[in-house]
Amino acid sequence: MPVFKDLFRSKSRYATVKPSQGDGDQPRPQPARPKEVPDGLWVKCPGCQNILYQRELARNLQVCARCGHHFHVGAVERLSQLLDSLDTFEEWDTDLRTVNPLGFPGYEEKLARMQAQTGLSEAVVTGEGKLDKYPVAVGVLDFSFFSGSMGSVVGEKLTRLFERALERRIPVVVVSGGGGGARMQEGILSLMQMAKTSQAVERFGASRQPYISVLTNPTMGGVYASFASLGDYILAEPGALIGFAGPRIVERTIRQSLPSGFQTSEFALKNGMVDMIVERKDLRPTLARILRLHRA
């Protein structure tokens, strides 16, 4: 779509409003470093019920060494797993802030709580980093922030990610894991982010650079039914929940229990919806290989 390419280079076409919160509540730019894991903390593995030490788990990329269960990975930790080094990462659009466009009850409070808990300002971190020595535009949804759901800021940051990658002619990698899908609290504006991001993906195609979509647990709803499904290559971590309608809603609708393995990565692979299932330890090499093939 070379015709439209120039149009979208200019910034700030979205509606900007003044932040409605007081100064003290403002989220801070998050530190671009994985949080230190305190010694001695342990978790029970939902896969094999074994007790795992978090430090060990972190060393194993948050994958259970016994059963291979893939735990959630925060955005910053994910970046450190995928990029050559976090030092190569330049974060984009840290200045965008979520507002409460519908005046949805309790939204500001919940946001503030999420921000305090996670150190993130929103559910996605975007920017440019180096993978295999070459620049790549990368976006990572963080499940711990509002289930990684997409509101106006997530949609805008992802859209700009694709726009800048198009300008710079560099590939895009997006790691999606948003159980919430669209952000209910922003109502119809969340739904519109599905259109906005999908259009950004398609326009990015003009770069002739690949967009690799990585689906992690869980990728559902409006996230799955937009940019996450539109990758030139779609990789999925093993055992991730992937689908549109939530399993409990499906269960209630059909009034019977779900078949085992329903809406897993393996189910999606069998049904032709993803290209391959990639274990976390193989994710970086696989991304590197695909990107290398595109540079050849």
Task: Tell which positions 1-30 bind other proteins, by CB under 8 A.
Answer: 1, 3-4, 7-8, 12-20, 26, 28-29
Min dist CB 239 to Zn ion, Å, is: 11
Within positions 122 to 161, which residues make up the interface with other proteins, using CB under 8 A? 151-153, 155-156, 159
Look up tokens 């440019």; give the residue: 128
Interface residues for other proteins in 249-288 (CB under 8 A)?
A: 249-250, 252-254, 258-259, 262-263, 267-276, 286
Longest dimension (CA), the chain: 57
Q: Which stretch binds Zn ion (CB under 5 A): 39-47, 99-107, 112-120, 149-157?
A: 39-47
276 binds Zn ion (CB under 5 A): no
Judged by beta carbon, residue 26 or residue 66, the one nearer other proteins is 26
Which of 222, 237, 240, 283 touches other proteins (CB under 8 A)?
A: 222
Rounded CA-CA distance 219/192 in Å is 18
Whose structure tokens read 């330049």? 90
Query: Applying CB under 5 A, does 64 fall inside the site for Zn ion?
Result: yes
CA atoms within 13 A on the CB side of 282: 11
Nearer to other proteins, 135 or 187 (CB): 187
CA 229 – CA 269 distance, rounded (Å): 13
Instruction: Choose from other proteins, Zn ion, none: what does 203 bind? Cβ within 5-8 Å by kind.
Output: other proteins
Give the number of other CB atoms < 10 A from CB of residue 81.
Answer: 18
Q: Are 218 and 241 in contact (CB under 8 A)?
A: yes
Q: Which residues contact 138 (CB under 8 A, 6 or more apart)?
A: 79, 82, 83, 89, 126, 127, 128, 129, 131, 161, 172, 173, 174, 175
Window contacting Zn ion (CB under 5 A); options: 17-25, 38-46, 148-156, 273-281:
38-46
List binders of other proteins among 91-110 (CB under 8 A): 94-99, 101-102, 104-105
Residue 66 binding result from Zn ion, other proteins, none, given CB thresholds of 5 to 8 Å by partner type: Zn ion
β-partners of residue 138 are 127, 173
Whichever of 43 and 245 has its CB closer to other proteins, that residue is 245
Of 145, 175, 168, 151, nearest in space to 102 by CA? 151
Binding site for Zn ion (CB under 5 A): 45, 47-48, 64, 66-67, 69
